[in-house]
Amino acid sequence: MAGTRASGGNRSFSNSPLIESSDDPILILVPEKKSWKNFFSYLGPGFLVSIAYIDPGNFETDLQAGAQYKYELLWIILVASCAALVIQSLAANLGVVTGKHLAEHCRAEYSKVPNFMLWVVAEIAVVACDIPEVIGTAFALNMLFNIPVWIGVLLTGLSTLILLALQQYGIRKLEFLIVFLVLTIALCFFVELHYSKPDPKEVLYGLFVPQLKGNGATGLAISLLGAMVMPHNLFLHSALVLSRKIPRSVTGIKEACRYYLIESGLALMVAFLINVSVISVSGAVCNASDLSPEDKASCEDLDLNKASFLLRNVVGKWSSKIFAIALLASGQSSTITGTYAGQYVMQGFLDLKLKPWLRNFLTRCLAIIPSLIVSLIGGSAGAGKLIIIASMILSFELPFSLVPLLKFTSSNTKMGTHANSLLISSVTWLIGGLIMGINIYYLVSSFIKLLLHSHMKLVAIVFLGLLGFSGIAIYLAAIAYLVLRKNRESSTHFLASGNSQTAETLPREEL
């Protein structure tokens, strides 16, 4: 499409004519007329985002929670899902109201060094999120077709790039594919839930009565919480909403924010039910009275690979295949959305104008290379441990995407828009503060426990202690910098007034 460029600050926007046809594969046109039918135009981005809440990393944490504590940690999933809805809706609103996604706001707001560091952290988060997805898909291929894990890793990268080729036919086709995969996952685990027969009363009790019993329950609860709120999802959601051409009036923006909230709630409800099903299946199977000693040993250290054998032994061979199909759908859909997140991060922070296939290739290689190396050296066991390490990394990187999001939105509550009301801002800061506080507490307490129970010499313990606490101090200082730094008003200007069609209000076709 021919067009000119208008520069503003550190970024550029498309100044080409808006696409007027709703059949165009690039943008989805939302009718000017206010109607409940407009909801279907907004349906899609929330389901792409919800994939991160039902990826293989979540499945592994869910399986461990059910195996070790039965249904006692289900309430964590409920709390985390509610927190995720608030945070994700805020990310969507940021894109809707400003016309820019989170990574672009960071580039416009921060100077070169902080912006570069935030980009590095965001890329690490994308890779850490991709690793469980790649390995989970490789495990699924191994379960279904006996393909070695390392070959499965390579096939995962190839298949993801092929599926991403669907984007040339429009975002709608990809959204339909993701919705189909989400519903496939849900169907598989609902079938597993039916045959594993968990006690409904115990499930409801675990869901609504908070409890943390036994050694390690706190750590596993933090892992569940960390696995539910993904850093890359904030960049992804704020960018995906730009695929809709919405009316740039106050009414149109409010309608978009409202419908995106409903759509996100619907998608996260499905993800919530899937997570509850995984924990319930694991809790019912691992606490069955007729478990063999071998199956009991598997339940003590349950992972994705062992879960397949456990289900086959306890429920039946078909159960193992259904689990593998769900894992394949989860891993493949997650790698697609992870690659999209990597594209938006690279484009937003660095303003790189790379061809889509090249951006896809670079993003995918960053996740496939460590997964391939670990699967070749350590096999299935090593790949399973890499999933746990990647999940821990994600928990500690969350503040570096969550704090900028909160700052960019809370600084604009004075605009009076529905998307950025004072109530939403206050609640989100509270949720974000609790999540970050829990992660920091777990980081410090785990490191102290590691030092106290290590068998190293005193000199080595002191050296590691100084090194570790210096790193923690730098980590806390970086978070404090993001929290306390005052944003420039111009970088977070909201476009909610009037019907002006300036260059900044236009959806960007290059996304």
Specify the pLDDT at position 314. Answer: 72
Number of CB atoms found within 10 A of residue 139's CB: 31
| pLDDT-based confidence at residue 207 (cuts at 50, 70, 90) | very high
| pLDDT-based confidence at residue 11 (cuts at 50, 70, 90) | very low
**pLDDT above 70 as % of the chain:** 81
Average pLDDT value for the chain: 79
C-alpha span between 241 and 239 (Å, rounded) = 6
Specify the pLDDT at position 501. Answer: 38
Q: pLDDT tens digit string along 465-496?
A: 899 889 889 989 999 999 898 887 555 555 44
Q: pLDDT tens digit string along 236-249?
A: 999 999 888 888 78
* 3 state DSSP class of 245: strand
* 3 state DSSP class of 351: coil
Is residue 366 within 8 Å of residue 122, measured between CB atoms? no
Assess whether pLDDT exceeds 60 at residue 346: yes
C-alpha 78: how far from its chain's center? 16
Tell me the fold of 31-287+294-453.
Amino acid/polyamine transporter I (1.20.1740)
The reported pTM is 0.84
Q: Which residues pair with 6 in a beta bridge?
A: 13
Number of CB atoms found within 10 A of residue 405's CB: 23
C-alpha span between 155 and 141 (Å, rounded) = 9
DSSP assignments along 457-495, one per residue: -HHHHHHHHHHHHHHHHHHHHHHHHHHHSPPPGGGG---
Between 58-62, 207-211, 446-450, 507-511, the lowest mean confidence (pLDDT) is in 507-511
Angle at 463 between CA 457 and CA 469, to 5 degrees: 130
Between 54-68, 126-140, 381-395, the lowest mean confidence (pLDDT) is in 381-395
* 3 state DSSP class of 313: helix
C-alpha span between 157 and 167 (Å, rounded) = 16
The pLDDT of 133-154, averaged and rounded, is 85
C-alpha span between 406 and 344 (Å, rounded) = 19
Specify the pLDDT at position 274. Answer: 94
Specify the pLDDT at position 411. Answer: 63
| pLDDT-based confidence at residue 4 (cuts at 50, 70, 90) | very low
Single-letter amino acid, residue 265: G
Angle at 291 between CA 289 and CA 295, to 5 degrees: 150
Assess whether pLDDT exceeds 50 at residue 19: no
Q: Which DSSP category does 244 fall into?
A: E
Specify the pLDDT at position 380. Answer: 65
Assess whether pLDDT exceeds 70 at residue 160: no
Angle at 18 between CA 91 and CA 247, to 5 degrees: 50
Specify the pLDDT at position 135. Answer: 83
Is residue 83 within 8 Å of residue 234, measured between CB atoms? no
